[in-house]
Structure 1
Amino acid sequence: MKQYILFAVGLITLASCSKSFIDLKPVSNQTTSTFFKTANDFQQGVNAIYDGLQSSQTYGKSSYYLMEVRSDNTDISDRGALAGVASQIDWFSEVTTNPFLSDVFAGEYVIIARANAVLGQIDAAAIPDSSKKQFKGEALFLRSLAFFDLVRLYGKVPLVIKTESTSESLKDKRNEVTEVYAQIESDLKAAAGLLPAVYPNSADYGRATAGSANGLLGKVYVTEKKWAEATGVLKNVTGYTLLTDYASLFTASNAINSEILFSVRFRKGLTPSEGNSYFSDMMPFSFYVNGAAYGGSNNNRPTHDIAAAYEKGDLRFNASLDTVYATSASTTQKGNYVKKFSDLPGATNDGGNSFPILRYADVLLLQAEALNEQGYSTANGPGTAFYYLNLVRKRAGLIDKTSTDLPDQGAFRDAIFAERRIELAFENNRWFDLIRYSKGVAIMQAHLLKEYNMTSPVLSASRLLFPIPQREIDIHNDPVNFPQNP
């Protein structure tokens, strides 16, 4: 899809200051029951769901603060920026009123609300069956993605799967994690059966496909440690290939390619803007390129730790980050910054890079991990764990790993963990990998000491989940059904 179109009628929007973020009652005079009539109406509704992914509350900005900055991959250059709230995320000192916590929570529920609006009307709609299947599949996929983010970040969250009134939303409870995952699995299975493998119209390229749904389902299964289910789904994710040139994955001109299963699409130069703020958020304070001077906040900045984690000769280093940048035509300065999303903006906050949610390289590494967890094997032919791992390494210009290098299950597990960090650097995977590998507390405690000489806070397992935004706790005022995280 060339761009995501804002749902002009304002069907679902952020709650007002007096309402809960999960109050999903339509706020315009035109409600879901009166708006949705034609296939074009539903198309607008689905486009509005995609639009939620672009939001600065989600993948436009705030998501990578909770998913990358929280980890040992990136940090904050300006500790005083935004009154220090970004630094709170980096240093595990966040308070329950931190706006990044509120933004992501609210932004994900906007996506869910818009999906529910479509799903609540689609079955009874008098539109062609082919359109009905596509729109329903897209809405289910996008709702699943939002719930997957929420449950990994906050743990138990309200499982809202229909449009609710204000009074109904105030009765929502924090559902068990197992309940949320069961819904995600169910929705993704349904979506995979409804969505096309490819779209015949090139204008629709970038929309969710059956491959998107199956790939995400496999990732969900791996997160749940359902290894056999994961391999069963992931082996059927076909029709994708690794690009020869890793760097070309992240150029604005190559957003649709054979490796991307799903991405958040951005496009610069449009009015109203459909671009992103990645350049201004991630570039150094004084940055000179192509004969012009730019300035950024240099947040989501690669740490010294990840810069040192690349193997010698790894082609992904120069494509992902740099440690020196030009400040003028004749001067340079040492300092780390992310290169993956350094598309020169057409205007302020108008970059054109898309943000990858799921790539085929991720699928390969997930498959290798799931196979190894079911039983270590020294085999290295097609379809084996070593084969999938080495496909990713070959593209990076690195030598194959063998059973001599990785002689047992534990060694192979550690190799996948390390490979995922480098292959998927700055793509919002590291924090979740730290958690599911049960390495988050130890690695982050060591990271705080090594990178910042910090001995406090003393981390515990409770810090692996973010607090529920205080506003939600206050509005629901129900310590039994809507408690704060420990």
Structure 2
Amino acid sequence: MKTYIISILICGLMITATSCKKFLDLKPLDSYTEDTFYNDEKGLQGGLISCYDALQTDSLYGNHLLTLGELRGDNLIDNDPGSGAGVRNQIEVFSETSANNILTGAWIGNYRAVYRCNIILDRAPKISMSETIKNQIIGQAKFIRALSYFNLTRLWGNVPLVLKVQSTEEARQNSRATAAQVYQQVIDDLTDAAVKLPTSWPDAQRGRATSYAATGLLGKVYIYQKKFDLAVPALKTVVTAIYAKTILDTVPQAKTFPNNLKTSKDVIFAVQYLLGGVKEFVNQDNRYRNNNNTNIINIPQSLFEASDNRKALVAITGTGGRPGKFNAPQVNNETSGDFPVLRCAEVLLMYAEALNETAYGNAEAFKALNAVREVAKASLKTPAMLTSQAEFRTAVYLERRLELALEADRWFDIVRTNQMTAIFPGIPTFRSIYPVPQVEIDNINNKNGWQNTGYN
């Protein structure tokens, strides 16, 4: 009898548990979850927008990448070192620690973008829809993931390489991949994205990543790895398209960038913003507006020729000292000004650099360098002026500083071209990359090897 009663109780508990499980597994009827949202084309497209949205935030192109990529270099001076408890000034004077919240924000912001892309890349292959559209969605997600990892490894070197959606416990088990492994994944993603993406989008979808954006970024990644022989064909693909469409040599730069960034043919990929009460704007102060002398542009005007139309773009001009390069219309200090990530001008300069590093004296290298200078109304360079590979290299490095000023590339250029010691004598080289945020290390089970050498 006793055994019988226990059996009944066990059966009752099993039934109750089963019923509860079914009840708890019911999906919300009035809202979406990850399981119910990404199950058709509409859901994927919506999720893809969130991937682009991740790039907009203050953690990335809205603010922090500008601090980490420009204020750290020699183009800007922070004239308000006490602002925000000094966290920006720490970046400038090489005193940042793993507790710096700008670093924490940039780390989280990049991995937020990676996470959203991983969801798309996990769900898309399982959904029945047009293969062309599916490939375009996958290509865009891979481009954004590649861009995020490119920034992550430039900032921190070795970082976790997360290629799938993880549970909290799985994330606690992460270890750091080598920079070489991260770069290889970036190359793989961009190579596939270049095949899957179109060369252009309809005007209504302008701003999405294209095959040219993927191929151009791929060339940039090769240059960072000093694989110039691989960079040349990738960049030539985009350069050929540039010349075929006469993107650069038809309209002076002053009319196409920055005042008409949204329609400029010079822009291959930009992070886009929008006014109009839709919470898609960017704060104008985050575009180096010299508000109350907070930022001082530190690019010597003597580096520019008198006729160079880029000179005025990085001078302290306009109301509040806003630099002309980002002098976009604004309302209540909010602006629709996009942030250029990759421009035709940079592709031309990278092409010139890669050709020169492969072999000095290539006529195409001079042609590419001069295409940028011609648009800027600067004098053209000749072999009689740049008589060696070293002289041409120096000219390209300077041209990058002048052309790409305030576009979050200067610090990374200083590091990759081995100019850090010369420009910042006395600064230890371990500071060529940043400390891993301590809050991230605190969440990892095995903390061995997580902090970059030289940092506590």
User: TM-score band, normalised by the shorter chain?
Assistant: 0.7 to 0.9
**Partners of 1:351 and 1:337 in 2: CA distance:** 13
Q: How does 1:262-281 map to 2 (within 5 A)?
A: 262-268=269-275, 270-279=276-285
Instruction: Select the structure of larger CA radius of gyration.
Output: 2
Deviations 1:371-422 (A, max 9, x none): 1101111x53xxx111111111111111111112111111111100000000
Q: How does 1:33-112 map to 2 (within 5 A)?
A: 33-112=35-114
1:409 aligns with: 389
TM-fit CA distance, 1:325: 5.0
1:235 aligns with: 236
Which residue of the other structure, out of 363, 366, 373, is the alignment partner of 2:347?
Answer: 363
2:301 aligns with: 307
**Partners of 1:188 and 1:67 in 2: CA distance:** 22
Residue 467, structure 1, aligned to residue 447, structure 2: no
Which residue of the other structure, out of 365, 369, 374, is the alignment partner of 2:358?
Answer: 374
What 5-or-longer segments of structure 2 have no aligned partner? 1-29
Size of the aligned set, in residue pairs, is 419
**Partners of 2:119 and 2:58 in 1: CA distance:** 22
**Partners of 2:260 and 2:375 in 1: CA distance:** 21
TM-fit CA distance, 1:346: 2.0
**Partners of 2:446 and 2:75 in 1: CA distance:** 37
TM-fit CA distance, 1:480: 2.8
CA contact (8 A) 1:65 1:300 kept: no
TM-fit CA distance, 1:246: 1.7
1:449 aligns with: none
1:333 aligns with: none
1:25 aligns with: none
**Partners of 1:29 and 1:477 in 2: CA distance:** 34
1:322 aligns with: 315
> CA distance change for structure 1 residues 234 and 281 in 2, over 3 Å: closer, same or farther?
closer
Residue 204, structure 1, aligned to residue 211, structure 2: no
CA contact (8 A) 1:32 1:121 kept: no
Residue 421, structure 1, aligned to residue 401, structure 2: yes
CA contact (8 A) 2:261 2:338 kept: no
1:287 aligns with: none
> CA distance change for structure 1 residues 386 and 33 in 2, over 3 Å: closer, same or farther?
same
CA contact (8 A) 1:279 1:344 kept: no
CA contact (8 A) 1:283 1:297 kept: no
Which stretch of the first structure deviates more once superposed, 235-244 or 67-76? 235-244
CA RMSD of aligned residues (A): 1.9
Which residue of the other structure, out of 319, 337, 342, is the alignment partner of 1:353?
Answer: 337
**Partners of 1:220 and 1:183 in 2: CA distance:** 11
TM-score normalized by structure 1?
A: 0.83
What 5-or-longer segments of structure 1 have no aligned partner? 1-27, 285-295, 328-335, 446-457
CA contact (8 A) 1:263 1:355 kept: yes
TM-fit CA distance, 1:195: 0.4
1:342 aligns with: 327
How much identity, in percent, do the aligned residues show?
A: 35
TM-fit CA distance, 1:210: 0.4
> CA distance change for structure 1 residues 84 and 385 in 2, over 3 Å: closer, same or farther?
same
TM-score normalized by structure 2?
A: 0.88
Amino acid at match of 1:66: L
CA contact (8 A) 2:314 2:405 kept: no
TM-fit CA distance, 1:360: 0.6
CA contact (8 A) 2:434 2:452 kept: no
TM-fit CA distance, 1:478: 2.8
> CA distance change for structure 1 residues 342 and 299 in 2, over 3 Å: closer, same or farther?
farther
CA contact (8 A) 1:259 1:360 kept: yes
> CA distance change for structure 1 residues 307 and 479 in 2, over 3 Å: closer, same or farther?
farther
Q: How does 1:395-406 map to 2 (within 5 A)?
A: 395-406=375-386
Deviations 1:121-158 (A, max 9, x none): 00011121121011000000000000000000100000
**Partners of 2:129 and 2:185 in 1: CA distance:** 26
